[in-house]
Structure 1
Amino acid sequence: MSTQEPSTGSRNQPRYRRPRALSPLREHLRDTFWFAPTAGLVLVLLLWWAASGVDQAVVGLMRADGDYAGIAELIGYADDAKTIITTVSSAMMTFIGVVFSISLVAVQMASGQFSPRVVRIFVRSRITKLTFSVFLATFVLSLLVLAAYDGETDPERVGTVPLVQSVVTMLMVALSLALFIAYVNSTLRLMRVSHVIDRISRASLALLKKQEREWDEDVVLGAETARFTHQGRAGVLRDVHIARLVRVARRRGAVLRLIPRIGDFVVPGTPVIAVHGGEGVTKKAVRHSVSVGVERTFHQDLGFGLRQLADIALRALSPAVNDPTTAVQALDRIVQFLAVAVELPLGALRHRDGEGRVRFVQAVPGWADLVDLGLTEIRGVVAGNPQVSRRMVAGLDDLLLLAPEERRGVLERHRALLVEVVERTVPDAADREFALTADRQGIG
């Protein structure tokens, strides 16, 4: 099979890094908001258990030494700490409710002003999850510490003095305050469109870099021997479990191919996996390798970033918002992404096993697909917005300088269509000339 590269066993043969087995699970957990708080509660229970053990050990050692005066002193310190912890316990849940109620309002405003697709940025925010987890953990820890006070004041009869637990609780309160400051700063940044666009751009470029070494325009497959259809719920193809598919293909001596692209909407009966060569690849072996959800993700979807940037630009150019400067900022990042992708193969992704043999082939958007995705819809609404048309002209001119000959056609087509739109919608010749003058800032 032409995609197979023979393994000679030579010491000079390069070793290929296998796909990460836990990568899909990690990404799916990042798209949830329950995992981090749950993990935080488990960790704080372990922390309380350890601190409780230390408190019991300290009292036991002091009693063995006959240091009842020291135990009495510990009881006094613990009683003072109890007052603080009681206040923390009563105020923490109220604090959590107020803070995250404000956050939900901020998310709603960002969704309406930018795009509903940006809500996932707030959901995946590490600082948001960490802050929420620590707040809940502090509240639970304060309850556990209060329950540990037995009310006994006799040094000879007291079982434990929760002094270490109280200190740990106050440290958690200090951490909560520090995280609250960081959280407010992060939330305010995410409410600014420039930072949202930057986050989307960085995620898109990171995926582009991650997939760079696995592209190949000329993947030639052998005869198709089997095909499996999707049998789960209808939805968006979020990602595939590459490590599992590579492992299945290696065991059966086959090459698997993903038929739809990541981000496609699939329904039961849609063909999803094709088998080329090999023997014995069963539907059961690949059944749990395809993940379908309600929305696209950045995990393996190369076009999702451009989709979000285009949506932000379109929302900015709508009559309700009328913010061409935001559209220009989105165009800046679209041009940046295309400038990085212009010299990449952008064909099929070929995933190899540890010996370097191609085992799984995955289609990705080509160069023309990415250009059309990033520019077509914005170009259609530039009428009356010379700031946007000037920035698009400058971006196309820059990409034409970078693009190899075989990739200039789609850029020239978009430039000609942009000129046509402006000439059709702008009646005055001087205004048309102004609107089609290249300017990387739009209009300064």
Structure 2
Amino acid sequence: MKRTWLRLRQISQEFWFIPAVMTVLALLLAEAGISAEETYGVPDGLTFVYGGGETGSRSLLSAIAGSSIGVAGTVFSITIAALSYAAGSMGPRLLDNFTRDRGNQLTLGTFIATFAFTLYTLRAVTGSEDQPFVPHFNVTFALVLALASVAMLVYYLAHVTGSINMTHVANLLRDDMRDSLMNATLKDDPDQDTAVAPPPEFWTNGEVLHAPRGGYLQLMDNDLLLERARAADVALLLHVRPGDYVFPNSVIAVGVPRLPDGVMDALTLGDRRTVGQDLEYSVRQLAEVAARALSPGVNDPVTAIDVIDRFGDALCSLQDRRWPDGVSYQDQVLRLVVPVTDFTGLTGSMFNMIRQYGKGSPSVMLRLLEVFRTTASCLNDTERRAVIRHHAELVREDALANIENSGDRTDIERRYQALLDTLANGQDAEVHEAARHAVRQAQGGRAN
């Protein structure tokens, strides 16, 4: 069932889906309007209904149909130009965010639906002297669609210019990343016992499952895997997690003492990574935006700093969240062990690429250390704070090795020391630093 919902969601997000649905509805509505008028005619009290004859209705419908399909071509051209810009400056993996944008789909759907409605209505207009027929309801509604198309064109011009703004893109990716984080983690419960996986020797003599084909693991149905393992009275170990590329004939699962039936029914492979269970994909999309911004051809550290701020936002939101252990028992019997993303892997995906590409940019390295310090003040877990310190040490080392200016090097050391103070003293150091910063700003304001 989860696989079916995944496929349905993917289809519904395709660029053609909303325009196709709107076109079909427009054709059905056109047929309904023609049939209603042929059966009941036009009541005398409806003065707003179009009252012209056959020639006028033909001219009007032809004008609306021609202009709507012409503007639809213009809209499509603008969309292609926006997609080309996005692919060049922010990465090709962000194209999905533009093609699945409902505003773009509704705009194109409105123009295509208007064209289909008017064209279908036009074929019903007859000029026979014995029995002329003008679908007055449809001509009136075609005028409404024409006005709606003008409104959608104005909306689209504002929408598409905003959708390629770097800050807007960063916020969209941040929302996707935050949703994935909330789905991948659990509410922290101090009374929750951590399940422990058996040692590697436990799986030595198990039955091995080889991948029948290659592709990205888009979805893992843990409930179905647990059900199959319980029904077969076995323990099951998965070697892959959502987002991994599964190579043909590679080992993806081990069952002890044997494999349950239908393991592949719970694993959905595809040609590309998808947002959802694949947490690192959401992170890497943002990291790629920062890496491209730091390339010599773009040289846009401000965008990289925006991405760093979003990563700090995500890490601070994990303060009261815990990672699942990936080990499932039923009635104290081991049934399922799956690999999961942890805090160490998440922070590595966030900051390693930015550090490597931005090691020569003082503003980026300083902002990394500042975000690390703020994040350390938000997190209470000792292991997570140790991970933050490790990344701060890497940033300091790379910055001092690649930045020559003595003033910038002094700032790096000062930010790094402030982080160490926060790690040592907790939130108190952060509060004191914020107070000192406010005092300095106030003194600067008086001096001016």
Q: TM-score, normalised by structure 1?
A: 0.80
Partner of 1:137: 113
Letter aligned with residue 265 of structure 1 = Y
SS at match of 1:228: strand
Alignment deviations for residues 354-394 of structure 1 (CA, whole Å, 9 cap, x no partner)? xxx99876433100001111111211233331111111011
Q: CA RMSD in A?
A: 3.5
Letter aligned with residue 182 of structure 2 = K
Structure with greater contact order relative to length (CA < 8 Å, sep ≥ 6): 1
Q: Is the 8 Å Cα contact of residues 92 and 139 (structure 1) preserved in structure 2?
A: yes
Q: Is the 8 Å Cα contact of residues 78 and 162 (structure 1) preserved in structure 2?
A: no
SS at match of 1:239: strand
Which of 407, 420, 423 is the aligned partner of 1:430?
Answer: 407
For the structure 1 residues 30 and 307, does the alpha-carbon distance in structure 2 shift closer, same or farther, using more than 3 Å as the test?
farther
Identity %: 25
Letter aligned with residue 67 of structure 2 = A
Partner of 1:265: 245
Which of 375, 387, 397 is the aligned partner of 1:420?
Answer: 397
CA distance in 2, matches of 1:112, 1:369: 28
Where do 5+ consecutive residues of structure 1 fail to align? 1-18
Partner of 1:8: none
SS at match of 1:236: strand
What is the Cα deviation at residue 244 of structure 1? 5.4
- The answer to whether structure 1 residue 49 and structure 2 residue 31 are counterparts is yes
CA distance in 1, matches of 2:230, 2:142: 52
CA distance in 2, matches of 1:227, 1:42: 49
CA distance in 1, matches of 2:153, 2:236: 48
Letter aligned with residue 166 of structure 1 = V
Which of 311, 315, 324 is the aligned partner of 2:292?
Answer: 315
Q: Is the 8 Å Cα contact of residues 3 and 268 (structure 2) preserved in structure 1?
A: no
CA distance in 1, matches of 2:286, 2:58: 52
Partner of 1:192: 165
Alignment deviations for residues 288-339 of structure 1 (CA, whole Å, 9 cap, x no partner)? 5433333222121111122111111111111111111111001001111122
Which of 79, 82, 96 is the aligned partner of 1:120?
Answer: 96
- The answer to whether structure 1 residue 229 and structure 2 residue 229 are counterparts is no
- The answer to whether structure 1 residue 327 and structure 2 residue 327 are counterparts is no
For the structure 1 residues 178 and 236, does the alpha-carbon distance in structure 2 shift closer, same or farther, using more than 3 Å as the test?
same
Q: Is the 8 Å Cα contact of residues 248 and 281 (structure 1) preserved in structure 2?
A: yes
For the structure 1 residues 58 and 413, does the alpha-carbon distance in structure 2 shift closer, same or farther, using more than 3 Å as the test?
same
Moved more, 39-48 or 142-151: 39-48
For the structure 1 residues 240 and 77, does the alpha-carbon distance in structure 2 shift closer, same or farther, using more than 3 Å as the test?
farther
SS at match of 2:279: coil
CA distance in 2, matches of 1:251, 1:161: 67
What is the Cα deviation at residue 165 of structure 1? 1.6
Alignment deviations for residues 39-64 of structure 1 (CA, whole Å, 9 cap, x no partner)? 222222221222122111223x98xx
Q: TM-score, normalised by structure 2?
A: 0.79
Q: Is the 8 Å Cα contact of residues 217 and 346 (structure 1) preserved in structure 2?
A: no
Moved more, 378-387 or 120-129: 378-387
CA distance in 1, matches of 2:179, 2:194: 24
What is the Cα deviation at residue 265 of structure 1? 1.1
Q: 1:274-289 maps to which residues of 2 (within 5 A)?
A: 274-275=254-255, 281-282=260-261, 285-289=262-266
Q: 1:87-98 maps to which residues of 2 (within 5 A)?
A: 87-98=63-74
CA distance in 2, matches of 1:186, 1:74: 33
For the structure 1 residues 165 and 265, does the alpha-carbon distance in structure 2 shift closer, same or farther, using more than 3 Å as the test?
same
SS at match of 2:179: helix
SS at match of 1:381: helix
Q: 1:26-175 maps to which residues of 2 (within 5 A)?
A: 26-59=8-41, 76=52, 79-154=55-130, 157-158=131-132, 160-175=133-148
SS at match of 1:76: coil
Letter aligned with residue 69 of structure 2 = M
Aligned residues: 406
CA distance in 2, matches of 1:275, 1:365: 22
Letter aligned with residue 362 of structure 2 = P
Q: Is the 8 Å Cα contact of residues 246 and 352 (structure 1) preserved in structure 2?
A: no
Where do 5+ consecutive residues of structure 2 fail to align? 419-433, 442-448
For the structure 1 residues 80 and 303, does the alpha-carbon distance in structure 2 shift closer, same or farther, using more than 3 Å as the test?
same
What is the Cα deviation at residue 280 of structure 1? 8.6
Partner of 2:425: none
For the structure 1 residues 247 and 218, does the alpha-carbon distance in structure 2 shift closer, same or farther, using more than 3 Å as the test?
same
Partner of 1:393: 369
For the structure 1 residues 258 and 97, does the alpha-carbon distance in structure 2 shift closer, same or farther, using more than 3 Å as the test?
farther
SS at match of 2:93: helix
What is the Cα deviation at residue 434 of structure 1? 2.2
What is the Cα deviation at residue 344 of structure 1? 2.6
CA distance in 2, matches of 1:275, 1:49: 58
Alignment deviations for residues 71-91 of structure 1 (CA, whole Å, 9 cap, x no partner)? xx9763565343221101112
Letter aligned with residue 351 of structure 2 = L
Q: Following superposition, which runs of at least 4 residues in structure 1 exceed 6 angstroms of deviation? A: 214-217, 221-225, 350-353, 357-360
Q: Is the 8 Å Cα contact of residues 186 and 323 (structure 2) preserved in structure 1?
A: no
SS at match of 1:341: coil
Q: Is the 8 Å Cα contact of residues 33 and 137 (structure 2) preserved in structure 1?
A: yes
SS at match of 2:317: helix
CA distance in 1, matches of 2:113, 2:357: 49
What is the Cα deviation at residue 218 of structure 1? 3.5
Q: Is the 8 Å Cα contact of residues 131 and 180 (structure 1) preserved in structure 2?
A: yes
Q: Is the 8 Å Cα contact of residues 237 and 291 (structure 1) preserved in structure 2?
A: yes
Moved more, 193-202 or 27-36: 27-36
